[in-house]
Structure 1
Amino acid sequence: MKRMNTTASRGARGFTLMEVMIASSLSLTLLAGAITAGVYLQRRGILEERTMEVQNAGRAARDLLAPAIQRAGAGFGKARLDVSGNGALLDQRYAIWVTTNAVAADFAGDFSFAPPAGNYAHLISDAVEIWEADSSRMVRLSNRCGAASAWDGDDTVCVDNLPAGTFPDNSLAVIVNVVADQPAVQTACVGMVSGSAPGPNGVVNWRPGLPGRPPPPISDCDDQTPSQYGGGNVMMPLTVRSFRVNWFTRAPVLEMDPDGPGPAPYQAMARDIERIKVRLGVFNPGNPIADVVYFPEQPLRPLGVDECTNATCWALVPTPSMPQGANDFGSGSARDELMRRVRMVELSITARTLQPEAEAVQRGLNGATRDAENNPIDGFKRRHFIQRIAPRNFAISGGAT
């Protein structure tokens, strides 16, 4: 009987159970490491993609606002704008008009706006209006309408050489006047155009103020004093854009109103801009160290210029050009003295991702705590952008006037 070849039998045998278990464990370990690395790389890629999106969103918002700020005041410079009235109160603004820490009360009749609340209340934004006139379509006023006046006090403004299409119906137009007792101080009278008749002796149907809101008698643009509108003054089409961050849906939305206080509503521009803050740099003559000082600036200048009254800010006016007046607006007010000295605008924008990290949401992070940069810890990634802009239509040197 043949003997079995025990050597061949040993060489053909399979893996033992122990060997299979060891090999499986090693394979699972390697597979788990590969999956972990893959997940990490995927999350890293998503994070970098979101970071890039936030950076692009912040740059886009900056590129939207910065050129508009540079053009602010085209045609009328640092003249004060008498926009309209509310009874005896005058609505007076400037080429760049900031509403510090805007709340719902700052948008009367607009119930679609809300500031941030709860854990995000400290992220309240400023609202900003930017006014500019089209000086390429400027026309000069003529005294044909009445004695020493280019406006008849009703609807008719007489101008020289009015091209067709210069002033569309239902549009804003501004007349730049020189105040009689202060020739260095200009007032820009904002009004609505209802029609026009072009030609060498043109006529524009225009009334100061907004519809139903004429300027009060204390205004240099009072519609009862047509003698304010002399021949030789100029009239131009006027545009205004307003920007704000609205938290009405409990998430930030950057909105723009293309006609300012006009009838068109605010329009959503971006949903990844969380905050906008604006500081105004005021020319400070005689100070070689800080020739521009900013409002607000803690702790010496805690208020925005729009919040200033004579009582709170007159002492902060660098070398006033005239004695302090009785009103908190117009000639002799701290607000007017400061606004006519604006030389720089500091724009601060905070952008965030559209969606938070899923794991952060699962961990219950809701913004109740903040990081070292005072950002809410809530899973959103944020980037801050700060830029200082010099408006081209404001004087860079010299005095306030």
Structure 2
Amino acid sequence: MSRYSQLCPVYFGSGEVNNTGTIAKKLGMTNVLLVTEKTIVETGIPQKVIDSLLKSGITVSVYDGVKMDAPDTTVIEGTKLAESTGADGIIGCGGGSSLDTAKGIALYFTNKKNVDIKKMIHFDPANPITLNPALKTVMIPTTSGTGSESTFVAVITDTDTHQKCGCIVWANAAVVDPDLTLGLGRTITAYTGMDAFSHCNECLCNVMPNPHSDTLALNSIERIYKWLPVAVEEPDCKEARYNLAIASNFAGIAFQDSQVNVGHAMAHALGARLHIPHGIGCALVTPSVIELVAGARPEIYRKIAEIFELEISSDEELPTKLADAVRSFNRRIGIPSMKDLGITRDQVLSTVNYALSEMMRMGCIVAQDEAIITDMMAEVYDSYQ
């Protein structure tokens, strides 16, 4: 049995950011907290959001304290500001950390009197807690990677344990304006693009394959393969940015239906323990995931091989040839190796236990144990130098 869903309307297109005020007003917002980060403020993008909100008669306050990997402390800080300003809506504007922080603030705002932040972010499906509905939210991504505007999870970091956690909260509307990504640097373009690629790959190797997510994921991979190298080399190419924005959003909708699994368990481990950007971790682990799973779903992975213009003569050679092709793609767009990052093989292997503790890995079509995860982590270092 498959389940299709889309959590919120997506307002997509060039200049759509200028309609944020109208969208927020339709949701009943009158007093908004805009959640972003200082480097995003410097781009001038949040000012476009503010101008649109003010034009619609909506009061705006700004929280620009977002940090990488959305630490729980920033959710608490942002919530205090939302309370002091009397916010009745939250708008996230920025990369994945800004969107996740905004979603976290929206949920904590309505639940902080009854639930500790640690309990809220450590979602336990075996012992679920009852939470009040979050404040209304609008998500405005400025990168093409996380797809957080279309998912029901906010990834928040527990600053005591350094564990990446997930709380259940989603947006009420998404504004995906490709123009907001024009001029984005080549490194962040590459990293975020491979984050979206990893979402697609893990949707396709989920224990419950879904024809809706399969279609969106394959379409996204095709767009990423064609347009990510262009955007890396030509940051102001509108056609490339348009296609990557679609790819990222489709990937987010896809993994809403068919969840990410072992690749993100590994990427979370690398990020939490070695503090590398999430997109780099996703890029580096994805070839190892493909080698693990392609043989279990060859009809789908042959389609990816076709996108990569590979000649595959047998299902047996599919996993290795496709994994190597993705590694070559990583090199083409400038993804650094662990050695480039100054990280040793032993450090990579030290993350195995963290990856094993991530229950999301159980959603993969191929089961893993400690030996398999160890081999995959070793491959992350050994096969990409």
TM-score by shorter chain over 0.5: no
Larger Rg: 1
Higher-strand-fraction structure: 1
With the length of structure 2 as denominator, give the TM-score of the two structures. Answer: 0.23
* Higher relative contact order (CA closer than 8 Å, sequence separation 6+): 1
Higher-helix-fraction structure: 2
